[in-house]
Chains A and B, each alone.
Chain A
């Protein structure tokens, strides 16, 4: 079967799985029990659907498979208990409702990114509950031992159940801050494995999964501008994937990428999302980051980068979401706008404790010092940058100057 059809079948299975899991978990707060009830059904779907096609009613198919697996479990006396029978009752209810149940996945996303849940486990929790990814796959993307990842996930689910975290979309006053937590967790999924170009360290990224979640939030919270900003940001970055390495596998920095390799479709979709988001009249961090990528994307049409626009956007971003990454990127924009002295001043105010292990700081510092003719210092900064680089292709690029 063609890869596209396999992907479509997998997407359908994950779509149905997430919807059903959200329904079962929202009623009981017991994510682990809901997962157990649905896990075999998901496995069966991931095996059968790519081969035989997606059934006409995927939810009903999964529910039937889940009920069968659940009855098997009960028959073998493996598990018994109040939560189990409650889940069985809910599976029956959902089956009776056929396709008329509400989509509770937004509630589930808010639970996964709840402030009472450890920030480091929010993204893995979303990937596991909404998409049905297994702990081993998630662990691999985050470069964490599988057992440690499983343990973190189990602990988080226990906290959700036993501490009584609310399955609900937050009220209007709380919504922007809570939504930002959800979006941050999705963006972290996009970032997982991003630095590992072409998977040299064996890390398989999660960009497809992150984009799926981004689309999901856009659909479930259509009035909110920031989800559109995040989805646009991810699509702009994704559009450049094929251009990030040359034919020989060498790293190609953004400014030197062959723009004909960029995905026009993704850039057009991103532009549309950014425009739609701007209609809400509430500029936020993700729209700002997407706007920065939009400036870079314009090089495909104009052949040049508007460094002044980048500077302005980085200033806005620094106000909204100050970070070492923003400081360094802003300095790079100032340098590219032809003002290395100001760029150096911008780098000098960075928090020294946080830059020691931040590779981009030294890359930009080396370029700034080089532009100022301070070659010996530039060499030192470059050596630091190379020392902090994991990826061999990027190291080779830095050595080559």
Chain B
């Protein structure tokens, strides 16, 4: 089954990405994690995301478009990246989620991926 690991981070962790003191440790942790997943051959897709300050949110109401600076939800932890992994069951996906650096200071949501949609009937 395919699962998305939805990785969230608090502002302090996002800040470490470019912090001269902490950047090496921060990126080292993620590199090791990603390498382990790749070694296991389970990664179908995945990316880190630029920080929430770079986010722009759009909504359309009654045909009118509103564009807003910032992420869609104002939460303490924000989406920092994701992976799509292919593993036999939820328990294996949870084991991988638990190994991510952010599991120990933020949260990882694990969601099964829907099977591919059929092309709309023509």
Contact = CB atoms under 8 A, between A and B. Distances in A.
A164 B1 contact: yes
21 contacts: A116-B90, A116-B94, A162-B112, A163-B90, A163-B112, A164-B1, A164-B3, A164-B88, A164-B89, A164-B90, A164-B93, A164-B112, A165-B89, A165-B90, A165-B91, A166-B88, A166-B89, A166-B90, A166-B91, A166-B92, A168-B91
A166 B88 CA distance: 8
A162 B1 CA distance: 10
Contacts of A168: 91
Contacts of A163: 90, 112
B94 to A, nearest CB: 7
B88, B89, B91: most-surrounded residue (chain A CB, <10 A): B91
A162 B93 CA distance: 14
Nearest to A170: B91
A116 B97 CA distance: 13
Contacts, number: 21
Interface string B80-106: 000000001111111000000000000
A166 B93 CA distance: 10
Nearest to A110: B91
A382 B107 CA distance: 45
Contacts of B88: 164, 166
Contacts of B112: 162-164
Contacts of A116: 90, 94
B84 to A, nearest CB: 14
Contacts of A166: 88-92
Nearest to B111: A163
A168 B88 CA distance: 12
Given A116-B90, A164-B93, 8 more contacts: A163-B90, A164-B1, A164-B88, A164-B89, A164-B90, A164-B112, A165-B91, A168-B91
Interface string B34-67: 0000000000000000000000000000000000
A250 B70 CA distance: 65
Contacts of B1: 164
Nearest to B92: A166
A102 B69 CA distance: 59
Interface in A182-209: none
Nearest to B2: A164
A321 B88 CA distance: 34
A181 B112 CA distance: 24
Interface in A346-381: none
